Amino acid sequence: MYGSIGGWMFNMYLKSFSNHGNKEASLMIRALLKSSDIMYRSVYNVSRPEDFDELRQNQNFLYSITKRLVIEALSDANSSRKSLASVLTSLDMSIEQITTAFVGIFQESVEPVSLTLTWALYHLARSPEVQEIFRKKIRKIISLSNYQPNLKRQRIPNRQYLEDPEIIEYFNKIIAETFRLNYPTIGLKRILQTSRIISGYSIPANTLVSTQNQLVGRMAKYFEDPLIFNPERRFEFKSMVLMPYGIGRVCGGAWFAKKIMLIALVNMVSSFEISYNYEDIGYINKLYNQPSRRIILTMKETKI
Ligand code: HEM
């Protein structure tokens, strides 16, 4: 996720998966994770005295690297593809404004996408039959003649699948079911403008209220056999039970999140049979809902 978002914002891949690892990418991701941990403590009034200084250091670090990347993107005037940074300068935004916006985008995007993908792979690994249905749909589009075993990076040589309605429909079902069982964040948050009575409780104005998406997604009242991962389940997010990308003021990168997750899952599922052979994984509710421990998946290369 971190690598790909660089392509969109700066017109350069950020090398987070380079063979030798990319130190800067790891430091950036660490700063993002630390910042969200501190924000989580602040939201729940359990801040530590050192949090403010740590948040400032991490945000300064993110800002300085992002600003350098913005400047590099803007100096790459010869590129045929425009970066978001260059589009924003043409709208008269200053380098500082673009940098601030981009730090926000990093903060809002890296964790939810990585976590959703992690949970989706975990559920797929435990549901070989769902994986097989998805793989068959992908194979219909990616023909044998396109398969080049010695050129793994070109294994899916064209991006036809990005527009294939059958693949997209099934991908949407997989992600919807992943959101239901393991939504990456707590839920939607708002500060009450006026005092309200909610479910019989009197809540004063200026209180931070939040939906609890994962809890609702697992309630038998709304979903039959709620703990079963079943992409064929019929439900409607707009029913207000779950709103994965928000309502009213919504996610600014939903389209990007969907594309990145589609590309990642199609590549993984078409190339590997994924399995998970250990006990159930729990989750830790923080600003972002994390797995309670490392998820170890077994990946076996598929034969076409
Ligand atoms: C699975 C992935 C993602 C989920 C579930 C998700 C969900 C959300 C939600 C629920 C909000 C809050 C809306 C509200 O204020 O109530 C939000 C805000 C936002 N998201 Fe996402 N998001 C995802 C990925 C991304 C990505 C990839 C980007 C950028 C490329 C992004 C950019 C943003 C931005 C900029 C905001 C702030 C919007 C504002 O404050 O007005 N998100 N997202």
Read off the pTM: 0.89
**185 CA to middle of ligand 1, Å?**
10
Give the pLDDT of residue 231: 96
Ligand 1 atom 29: the closest Cα is on which residue? 253
Q: Give ∠ CA 160-232-140 in degrees, rounded to 5.
A: 25
Asked if pLDDT for residue 173 goes beyond 80, the answer is yes
Give the pLDDT of residue 18: 60
Residue whose entry in the numeric block shows the structure tokens 């429909």: 169
Which DSSP category does 237 fall into? G
Distances (CA, A) of 59 to 22, 28, 29, 233, 252: 19, 10, 12, 41, 21
User: Is the beta carbon of 249 within 6 A of some atom in ligand 1?
Assistant: yes
CA distance 301 to 304: 10
Task: Find out whether 217 and 180 touch, Cβ atoms under 8 Å.
Answer: yes
**249 CA to middle of ligand 1, Å?**
10
CA distance 104 to 91: 19
Asked if pLDDT for residue 253 goes beyond 60, the answer is yes
| pLDDT one-digit tens code per residue, 115-138 | 999 999 999 999 999 999 999 998
pLDDT band at 82; cut points 50, 70, 90:
confident
Asked if pLDDT for residue 94 goes beyond 90, the answer is yes
Q: Give ∠ CA 229-231-237 in degrees, rounded to 5.
A: 100
Give the pLDDT of residue 145: 45
Asked if pLDDT for residue 238 goes beyond 60, the answer is no
Asked if pLDDT for residue 160 goes beyond 50, the answer is yes
Q: How many DSSP H helices and E strands does the chain contain?
A: 9, 10
CA distance 249 to 199: 24
Mean pLDDT is lowest, of 89-93, 103-107, 156-160, for: 156-160
User: Is the beta carbon of 257 within 6 A of some atom in ligand 1?
Assistant: yes
Mutating to test ligand 1, I would choose from 100, 108, 111, 186 the residue with most ligand atoms within 8 A of its C-beta, which is: 108
